[in-house]
Structure 1
Amino acid sequence: MNPLFQQPLKVVNAGLAGFADNLKQANGDVVALSWQPPALGDVQAGLDLAALIRHPLVEQANQIAFERYLSAQPVLIDVMSAAEAIGAMAQRKLILHSGPPIAWPDMCGPVKGAIVGAILFEGWAADHQAAERLITEGVVELEPCHHYQAVGPMAGIISPSMPLWVIENKTNGQRAFSNFNEGLGKVLRFGANNDEVLQRLQWMKQELAPALKAAVRQLGELELKPLMAQALHMGDEVHNRNAAATGLLIKRLVPALLACDLPMATLQRVVAFMTGNDHFFLNLSMAACKAMMDAAGGVPHSSMVTVMARNGVNFGIRLSGTGDRWFQAPANAVEGLFFPGYGVDDAAADLGDSAITETAGVGGFAMASSPAIVKFVGGTPADATNNSRRMQAITVGANPAFTLPALNFAPTAAGIDARKVADRQILPVINTGIAHKQAGVGQIGAGITTAPMSCFVEAIQALAQALPTGEPA
């Protein structure tokens, strides 16, 4: 030991940073490791995690789920009303919202405002007070979009008369749905429900949807993965930046619209609406990702995450191996850039179904392809690249359909593995808009957030409990 202490020493400190600080003050050479016990330090959860690591049933299930995700081929095939596309909505006064299940009294301001707006749009009530009575009396039912293979950004509202994009996975025939993007400003997805919002929704239903339905029929169908892949090479990450993807979509839709013999005034209004909204493709991106992740669902014992969604109060995830069960925790705040006049105290918690893009390996996972996004969400281009690299540590594999030029065309990390999240203490990164906590104010910024760790800890415990007894770990 004496010769050892006569040599220059470098200390590795794991745990409390205070120990490393003391050594630095004594002029010691110290490396501080940012380390925490896995699974939030919960002993039983740690044991459950250990049982799942390298478990042959879990490994095999994850490969099955991941291959199904990779082989999914989401295609735009139609435009339908929600009542046509989703059978339950033709039979009940049903409104769908973003995120995991939540009761009306517990909802955040933007979601409540959007639900009231949807009731007014449907003509079920004449004013706000009457609309709220329909909810509290149980006449109008509220359920998550994800329960009906659907997704919606921010408040995520879908009501029976609203037009939906219809996406079909050509590999298995399953469908996914999303509403139309309304643009920016005073819009339903941020809880606005005044006459301007309702009139726009009526126009979308009466003129925009029939025109786009005719255009999609003229096209026959539109494969979405190649379009998304091309957009990644043009500076999008197809969550918060969709400028290129929207341009590519318009390039396909406009010739089809011209071939439909529509009235010139209709054509002008439809094209102006699409070209005036760089986020017009977002809802298609979300529906395509939903179709890909639904393909991976329902594989017993798989620890692959198939849903991440937020309702402005709670964040919820689902695993392939635990079916329709939600694992929830309070949604994190979003750290980012605020529009002038707004700050953290004005913001709602993380909100919307758009985290389905990150679940499918794009969005925040593909930020390396979109250095311009940092001017919107904060940070630097190096941060964007580091986010994409870091996600490789928590995924089952990578998706060769989506490649990142800034990383030498490396495939995006994909297939979030709940085991790796809990074990490595690395949370999935999500870039997102920030909504004002009051209904109708709208978007007040954008930034970066993560899922709460406790969701993943609870999920792996449920997965471990479902393992057959006597199976080797």
Structure 2
Amino acid sequence: MSEMSKLLQSELKVVNIGAKTFIEDLKLQERDVIHVAWKPPAGGDVSLIRALEVLEKDEKIKEANEKVVNIMKASHGVLIDMAEAIDVVPGMDENTILHAGPPISWERMCGPMKGAVIGALIFEDRAKNEEEAVKLIESGIIKFSPCNEHSAVGPMAGVLSPHMPVHVVKDMTHGNVSFCSVNEGLGKVLRYGAYDESVIKRLKWIREEFAPIMKKALALKGDGVDIKSLISQAVHMGDECHNRNKAATSLFFREISSYFFLLDEDKKAIARCVEFMKGNDHYFLNLSMAACKAATDAAQNVEGSTVVTTMARNGVDFGIRISGLGKETWFTAPADKIKGLLFPGFTEDDANPDIGDSTITETMGIGGFAMGGSPAIVQFVGGTVADAIAYSEKMYTITTSENTNFSIPTLDFRGSAIGIDVLKVIATGTLPIINTGMAHKVAGIGQVGAGLVSPPMDCFKKALLALAEKRSEANE
């Protein structure tokens, strides 16, 4: 009997590839069907496929990408100081306001960011109210620039003004320094665009009492606080260090609080500072962001690399930057709405599109990438524990390496996925997963929920074509 005859007489196993059109008909014939969810690379876009074909064969790209992730993994962020932004942040002056996300003008800013800018000017005593602040802005005196272009990051609206205190985090491996503001806590806060009297009062207290005492405590400690080590421990304790920072904040509090009590300061002032940290589970977020920023900044400008070193959003645009294309070049597309759990009384229409620099955590391979090790996060962003694990596993398909510094217990201590590769994103059609808070689109109302979102694919398409063009120019 021929092999063909044997095949025709045997029980056939059916594999359906791509479209699901035929599955139901086969099931009606009582056939077992295995479905393969195949789709063409780059969505079938010929220009992207051609770019992929050229770039994927380049061994120098693989070497450059390995170099980038090795730099990121070797980075060692340590909190060394507190200072006012104008004294330490590169390019900061009295008329500069830094913001989250890629570049944006005042006219295009969303509600929460405009509210935060107004609040910052009131905090700086440059204006007494909204009307005076807007008049000052429209005069052209105030300059706006992304935090990410000044070695800084800002959560949500991400506004940083000259005399706001910042955490100073140094990468002890590579020597660069990064900055992030002090997390205000929840409720009415500047990062969600609120600027009433209570917000300004808290910001001034942080500057005038909390930051100086924290600065003295850090000086007394002497060797700083090892943020990388705390992230590593917190991931083993159920944090992903973006939206869940309970363990990390507790670990930080344990590291620094004893030094507060050793200071020769007013006991009531010490008590206020300690209570502020103890009552703010999100305190560590800003430290996590600064440490991730230090790592990704160190990995910027590696010739030939296709790895993403910045993901950031301003509430209007989502922007990415690529190591091999320089820190001056952003690839942007409209920011998407977040899907998840809304607080009682709010609807999806209330939520502003995706906003904030906290996606630096996902860029470093934690946050959404480490959700699989943070089961409790699903109570905040939605979904199931199985979903969270699946998201973490899927991120390995679009990244260059694994970061054993941040290993995930529920994945058998596999290192978190690190080094988002533009080529792999386009080839697979898989986008990075981000878990994040939702801000109300009206300034000052605050957080309305939390959920999951991804960058727009157009950011990666633009980056891929730019990478291909640069390679072509280099070969001419």
Provide the alpha-carbon RMSD of the alignment: 1.7
- Deviations along 1:225-277, whole A, 9 cap, x unmatched? 11110111111111101011101111111111112211101101100111110
**Contact in 2 for aligned 1:40/1:457 (Cα 8 Å):** no
Q: Give the 5 Å matches for 1:53-452.
A: 53-90=56-93, 92-220=94-222, 221-324=224-327, 325-452=329-456
Give unmatched runs, 5+ long, in structure 2.
none
Partner-residue secondary structure (3-state), 2:306: coil
The code of the aligned residue for 2:225 comes to L
1:463 matched residue in structure 2: 467
Name the structure 2 match of 1:40: 43
1:344-389, Cα deviation, whole Å (9 max, x unpaired): 1111111110010011011111112210111111111111111111
Contact kept? 1:301, 1:466, Cα under 8 Å: no
Instruction: Say if 2:89 and 2:152, in contact at 8 Å, map to a contact too.
Output: no
Secondary structure in 2 matching 1:17: coil
CA distance in 1 between partners of 2:161 and 2:136 (Å):
14
How far apart, CA to CA, are the structure 2 residues paired with 1:232 and 1:256?
A: 25
8 Å contact from structure 2 (residues 90, 151) kept in 1 = no
Quick one: distance in 2 between partners of 1:10 and 1:258?
A: 71
CA deviation string 1:368-423 (max 9, x = no partner): 22101111111111111111111111111011111111112111111111111111
Offset of residue 173 of structure 1: 1.3
- Counterpart CA distance in 1 for 2:385 and 2:22 is 33
The number of residue pairs the alignment matches comes to: 471
Q: 1:102 to 1:37 in 2, by over 3 A?
A: farther
Q: Retained in 2: the 8 A contact 1:40–1:454?
A: no
Shift of 1:10: 3.9
* 1:79-126 per-position Cα deviation (integer Å, ceiling 9, x unaligned): 000000124223x41111111111222211111111111111111122
* Larger mean Cα displacement after TM superposition, 451-460 or 174-183: 451-460
TM-score by length of 1: 0.96
Decide which moves more: 379-388 or 151-160: 379-388
* Separation in 2, partners of 1:31, 1:126: 67
Give the Cα separation in 2 of the matches to 1:387 and 1:268.
41
> CA shift at 1:5, angstroms?
5.0
- Find the aligned partners of 1:24 and 1:317 in 2 and give their Cα distance: 45
SS in structure 2 opposite 1:88? coil
Report how far residue 17 of structure 1 moved.
Answer: 3.1
The residue matched to 1:176 in structure 2 has which SS? Answer: strand
Residues 459-468 or 435-444, more deviating: 459-468
2:196 partner amino acid: N
Q: Is the 8 A contact 1:183 1:277 kept in 2?
A: yes
- Give the whole-Å Cα distance in 1 for the aligned partners of 2:35 and 2:308: 32
Q: Residue 431 of structure 1 contacts residue 448 of structure 1 at CA under 8 Å; is this kept in 2?
A: yes
CA contact (8 A) 2:90 2:150 kept: no
Residues 3-41 of structure 1, C-alpha deviations (whole Å, 9 max, x = no match) = 655544344333333344454455554333333332233
Q: 1:6 to 1:344 in 2, by over 3 A?
A: farther
Task: Single out whichever of 356-365 and 329-338 deviates more from structure 2.
Answer: 329-338
Amino acid at match of 2:290: A
Structure-2-length-normalised TM-score: 0.95
Q: 1:337 to 1:257 in 2, by over 3 A?
A: same
